[in-house]
Chain A
Amino acid sequence: MSFIPGQPVSAVVQRIEIHKLYEGDNLILGFSIGGGIDQDPTQNPFSEDKTDKGIYVTRVSKGGPAEVAGLRLGDKIMQVNGWDMTMVTHDQARKKLTKKNEDVVRLLVTRKSLEETVRQSMMQH
């Protein structure tokens, strides 16, 4: 999950499809994001590498569409509907998630536990 300049970023990702929910007049996803290239990465409580300026999930509302879809606290979002999230500002990320005319967002997320799982399953063989 760490970013080495000049090297492609590789990670084990999980696809998560979140269907937005209507709350009043708005479509919500039910989670909060933090991070971005314009933010201070050292304050990110979820990132392993404190220089990681990616977008992280900082809160998942209980029972919300995100939780139902499998998003977990601390996930790092790599892509949203095909848009890259590893090198975007906070506001750009928010915008990509909150497009009014889309009611489904397909995320690629990664988390430490995924890598562990893959490593373990690989070790078994």
Chain B
Amino acid sequence: MFCRNQTARATIARGSALEMEIRRGKFRQSVFMESPQDSDIQKKIDYEIRMREGACKLLAACSQRDQALEASKSLLTCNARIMAYMSELQRMKEAQVMQRVARRSSDAGPMDDRSPCKAKVAISDLRIPLMWKDTEYFKNKGELHRCAVFCLLQLGGEIFDTDMVMVDRTLTDICFDNKIVFNEASPGFELRVELYSCCSEEDYSAGNTPRKLASKLSTSLGRSSGKKMRGTLEPGACSPTSNGGGAAILLPVPSVPGPKYHLLAHTTLNLSHVQDSFRTHDLTISGNEECSFWLPLYGGVCCRLAAQPRCMTQQMMSGCLRVKLGGEPQGWTNVYGVLKGTNLFCYHQKEDMEANVEPVLTIGINKETRIRAAEKDPHSKAQNICISNQYGGEEVTHTLAADSREDTQLWMEAFWQQFYDMSQWRQCCDDLMKIELPSPRKPAIVTPKQGALYHEMVIDTSDDIGTVTDILARRIEEFELRAQLGSPPHWMSLFDEDPPRSPHNHQHLPPHSPSPCHRTPGLLSSNASLTSDSDSPVSVSPCFRQAWSPDTSSSSGRFRPRTLSLDAKLSTLRGRGYGGFRCNCQPPTAGSGSPRPTQTALFCSSSTSSSSSSEGSNSQESDLGFSRPSGARRSLRNLRAKLDPRNWLQSQV
């Protein structure tokens, strides 16, 4: 026997008796007669339970943060749906009980209660503005606090989730591009919008925060971030506050390891919020600044909520009519009438309507229209229908007649229903609101960049290893392949030369032909150089430069030597984290004459840029005798300090 109290339980523990009962479809054996809707819901519940199991397994198995966040989101959505279906089932059972009770007591209530038509409700272009403190927003240093957020939207029994968006202080708004359409909404609908967020630290995915990547790589988990991590893993110190803001749709998740989402804000929209344009609605925010999942919300959500009642999009009634046209009392014209939206279209014949030919007559049916049945026409058996509209100051009346009394009745009924629907759906019936069907999502196309690493001059941030590492990580696959193919380029032979010799030669080069020499180095300060340098891990640039001749300068300008084992070097990068050297730097300070210090100076100056590449060269250049500072950051800072005032940088544009 299905016990009503059980739906009041917040959790449905897996493997519990109730769940087993659900699985076995115990509801079907309930006292009440099974209706087709029951089995529908049953199927949906079963499906969601399977989805939930899958999500749990995925969550346990996945290693990447992104996957874990997505899986956690699906889990949350599945739970919400299960809850909704369960309560729907419960309601249906109750309704059945009431009906049976009513039948038994032969209490025939008024059966001609009109019910308004259903509508399609669409919500799209959700945008939630954020309100970062200006100090936060312009901060360049410090951890980039990131949160993964998504929205859960529920209307009636339908629950949809939006895509997940990563939010950090560089964003001013959280934008969800999803268009969500609910199909069966009644005028009294309540669309509940909930914003869930989950704190996301230690984001190792390439391309997200290149700035902080290096710092994360080289330093261990700080105390505060460690605390946050722990906070997200346990049930959550903030959950009491997060659930305080009204009943959340979701069930508390059975303890599954992985990132957990918390309710950050919610709001409920109904018919009064429906409009054909964007509107801002207030959000009720739960949680406070102390919570890990906190985001400074401005307090509103902007979206477009549109509704298309069926009466506006579908033909509510159609049939043959006779219309009195013109002034003659006997001038009846046969037409095929179609009642749709705010108009009664009269076509010559049915085929015209299907062929989209212009109707002969269009009679407006709106809130101002008055329809009444006229006195019986002595010449016909049925009553006439008079439709009056106000056009400007004039009242125009059209007289229609159906073929039989039943038809007349049907038409009148249709008109009454239309009026009722319009009164229920109010502003939605003034004009048809456009609803775009959500198009199937296209996978993001990632175009691999052609050309040398140098060409990726898109880094706008200041010198930072992280950026280089980032670019490199993305380029690894391409280079791996290329490096393995073919013989090493001819210039590789240069690297066999004796390094110490080069600076001498370098210094002797006439000042005017710095062109070839300065080419590679030129990029030092600009971020472009970062990439190019990393690309050419062979730091034996003095040697390399030597081989350049002025006439090849322009062509070799874009030419960057590639290492044969870039990937190997890169793997060591993360451990080291600091730039090796690529002595791009220009004519070293004239003061230093000896090759040794020069090299070191050169080395040092390029350190900032050529992070990883230098890594590789380190092994080759061990004889250069540079010291490898232990802390990556410290060395960077030192080197940068040395770099700035001493060299005259050049950039290639």
Contacts and interface: CB of A to CB of B under 8 A. Distances in A.
B399 to A, nearest CB: 65
Contacts of B139: none
Nearest to B646: A40
B650 A33 contact: yes
B492 interface: no
A39 B648 contact: yes
A29 B528 CA distance: 14
A91 B558 contact: no
Interface in A87-102: 90-91, 93-95, 97-98, 100
A59 B647 CA distance: 17
Interface stretch (B123-131, B382-390, B450-458): B450-458
B651 interface: yes
B342 interface: no
A58 interface: yes
Contacts of B460: 95
B525 A61 contact: no
Contact of B553 (A36, A45, A59, A94): A59
Contacts of B551: 62
A35 interface: yes
A79 interface: no
B518 interface: yes
Contact of B649 (A28, A36, A45): A36
B207 interface: no
Contacts of B649: 34, 36, 39, 90
B141 interface: no
B518 A59 contact: yes
Contact of A45 (B449, B452, B512, B652): B512
A44 B648 CA distance: 7
Interface size class of B (residues with CB under 8 A): 35 or more
B518 A64 contact: no
B455 A25 contact: yes
A83 to B, nearest CB: 14
Contact of A98 (B511, B557, B590, B653): B653
A94 B647 CA distance: 17
B449 A94 contact: no
Nearest to B645: A40
A34 B650 CA distance: 4
Given A26-B455, A40-B647, A43-B586, A94 B518 contact: no
B592 interface: no
Contacts of B647: 39-40, 43
Interface in B114-130: none
Contacts of B452: 24
Contacts of A44: 648
Contacts of B519: 32, 59
Contacts of B558: 23
A93 B526 CA distance: 10
Contacts of B645: 40
B455 A94 contact: no
Nearest to B517: A59
A48 interface: no
B586 A25 contact: no
Given A45-B514, A59-B519, A61-B557, A40 B653 contact: no
A35 to B, nearest CB: 7
Interface string B449-483: 11110010110100000000000000000000000
Nearest to A62: B554
Nearest to A26: B455
A94 B648 contact: no
Interface in A35-83: 35-36, 38-41, 43-45, 58-59, 61-64
B515 interface: yes
Contact of A24 (B450, B515, B557, B648): B450
B1 to A, nearest CB: 70
A75 to B, nearest CB: 13
Given A59-B522, A94-B526, A97-B653, A40 B515 contact: no
B650 A32 contact: yes
B364 interface: no
B584 to A, nearest CB: 12
B522 A58 contact: yes
Given A25-B449, A43-B587, A59-B515, A90 B651 contact: yes
Contacts of A31: 652-653
Interface of B: 449-452, 455, 457-458, 460, 511-512, 514-515, 518-519, 522, 525-526, 551, 553-554, 557-558, 586-587, 590, 644-653
18 contacts: A24-B451, A24-B452, A26-B455, A32-B518, A32-B650, A32-B651, A34-B522, A34-B651, A36-B649, A39-B647, A39-B648, A39-B649, A40-B645, A41-B648, A45-B512, A59-B515, A59-B519, A90-B649
